[in-house]
Amino acid sequence: MNAPTHYQRLGGSDAVRKLVDRFYDLMDEDPDYYGIRKMHPADLTESRNKLYWFLCGWTGGPPEYTDRFGHPFLRRRHMPFAIGEGERDQWMGCMLRAMQDVGIEETLQRELAAALFKTADFMRNQSA
């Protein structure tokens, strides 16, 4: 028997949507995340959808993002933005807080955080 995917352990599409919505609500409301918030458009609807679609597939669920847009090419898509350690850390801080706020189980939080950190760190295109 196969182990459940992160998507299944999260609780499926509704749980991923809840996480993404909390993430963007925090980004929009908390000045600690202003540095990354200003990189986004005023209307976060498309950003919310893209992250939701991406995370569904990334966690082992339906390939929503790739079905719509093809390979994500994350680094290339993020190149227009100056992303250093500060932006990486703000993004991670916002995501960690969102995971806590929506009640993701601690072991799963740690697993996702470790994988997300590698991805967030890979997005850096500034030395500081």
Q: What is the mean pLDDT of the chain?
A: 95
Q: CA 45, CA 9: separation in Å to the nearest integer?
A: 26
pLDDT tens track for 46-87: 999 999 999 999 999 999 999 999 998 998 999 899 999 999
Structural domain tally of the chain? 1
Does 115 fall in a domain? yes
The model carries a pTM of 0.94
Q: Is the residue at 25 inside a domain?
A: yes
User: Quick check: is 128 in a domain?
Assistant: no
CATH number, position 21? 1.10.490.10
Collapsing DSSP to helix, strand or coil, 95 comes out as: helix
Do 108 and 61 meet the contact criterion of CB atoms below 8 Å apart? no
Q: What percentage of residues in the chain have a pLDDT greater than 90?
A: 93
97 in any annotated domain: yes
Whole domain around residue 96: which residue ranges? Answer: 10-122
Tell me what the mean pLDDT of segment 35-53 comes to. Answer: 97
Would 78 be classed as within a structural domain?
Answer: yes
Cα torsion angle, 52, 78, 127, 84, sign: negative
Let me know if residue 55 belongs to a domain: yes
Backbone Cα Rg of the chain? 14
**83 is a domain residue:** yes
Cα-Cα-Cα-Cα dihedral sign, residues 37, 42, 46, 48: positive
